[in-house]
Structures are given as structure tokens and as C-alpha cells.
Amino acid sequence: MRLEGKVAVVTGGASGIGRAMGVAFAAEGARVVVADRDEAKGSSVAEEIRGLFVHVDVTSSKSSDAMAEQVFGKFGRIDILANNVGVRVVKPFLEHTDADWDVMISTNLTGPFLCSRAVVPFMQRAGSGRIINTASIASFVGRPDRVAYVAAKAGLLGMTRAMAIDLGRMGITVNALAPGSINSPMNAEHAADEEHDWGKETPVGRWGRAEDVANAAVFLALDESSYITGAEIKVDGGWVSTKARAGELGD
């Protein structure tokens, strides 16, 4: 129970990687807040892990601030924020619309900023905190038909590093996880495609599980990781490193 007494907020906690993070945090003794727009799924996850569901639209500063206030009002503390909510548009560059771009940036980049800004004052009061941003292998490499998604996730890495500098003196660490081919709802179609099996491209020869990312999140939430900040951990089965050695990045 390495997180006993801690309060963890997981945005996008209703499904996929976010749900796995909530389950993992709860298993380590944390009180978990499932923050999501999907009340039905979010409430179900919260009930499963004996946590709390809070509705939030991460693209809204008003909603993000209200979420943080509600959590602090309930528990009197916020120790961990996992900025996990994310969406992806896959279509050729010239088919990307203004709306596609705006949704990718507002959800995947602005959302983590707004939620962090809402939560940090409460962490600052306590003199400690852990912020964990869910980035992507797309933060490091160009991926086809994902220009807005890649731009947002690359920006999230830059924001992580800048936040680490600004918040370090407050006792708050800020790090990023970069999942690769994870068998989550976002990748369900690809995971079922045996002909183009992304999982087989990794050195470990399989798709990642949401739990693989969640386990890394637990590590970054622990007191033992207090000297790690501004860093990114690739949870990709070695895909980026292997592609880099082979000179295949960008394919």
C-alpha cells in the first residue's frame, strides 16, 4: 500500500489507460478520483475501486477549476494528477479541418495545462505533488495522418519540461509517460488487424497492456521517484529505440 493516504485524480479515468491507472493507484491504497465526461462509465469505475467520480471537461478552465475545488473540498488534499485524457484524429493532412486541429490541441495539450493549473495551488499548500502527463511515441516521431495529434503530443513533452522547472521548488514533480502500441480502446481496430500488427514491431513482440502504462504511473507517483522530474518514460516495448537504430523513424 505504497500510496496509502494519497489522493489521486485521473482524467480520462473512465476507460482504457485511465481506468488502469485508477485501478493501480487504488490497489496501492490511494483514494482515486475518476475525472471524466462519461458519467456512466466513470461512475462504474469509481464504484469498482471505491473512488469518487467527478465530471470534468478538461478543455474548459471553469470545469477544470470546479473539479479541483470539488476534490479538495471532499478530501482536503490532492497529491497526484494523472493528465491522461486524450483523443486522436486519423486522416490525411489536407483533410484535417479547423475543428480537427482545435479538438486535438484543446484536449491533448490545453487540457493538461488547465487541469494542472487548477490543481497546483492545492499541491503547493502541501509542499509536494506528482503530475503525470500521458504523452505518446508520437511525441518523438512523425506518424502518418496524425498531424494535429503529433503536434499536440509533442507540445505536451515541452510543457512537461517547462512545468518541471516552474514547479520543482514547490516540491512538485512533473513527468510524462509515452505509451506505444497499447491495446486500449483507441487502438482496438489496429490490435485486431493481424496483417498490420503493430505489436509485432516491438522488440518484446507483443502489444502493450494498459496495465503496463499504469505500473509506470504508480512508480512516478511514489515518494521514491522524488528526484525524477521533467523526464519522459517510453512505455513502448522498445519501439522508438529500435526504429531509431534502424533509421526507420518517420515511416
Distance in angstroms (rounded) separating the CA atoms of residues 31 and 198: 35
Distance in angstroms (rounded) separating the CA atoms of residues 169 and 174: 12
Is 149 in the active site?
Answer: yes
Neighbours of 192 (CB within 10 A): 9
Distance in angstroms (rounded) separating the CA atoms of residues 197 and 139: 21
CA 153 vs CA 64, 76, 143, 184: distances in Å: 20, 32, 11, 17
Sheet-wide strand order for 31-36? 52-55, 31-36, 7-11, 80-83, 129-134, 172-179, 232-235
Distance in angstroms (rounded) separating the CA atoms of residues 208 and 46: 24
Q: Which of 113, 122, 140, 149 is catalytic?
A: 149
Active site residues: 149
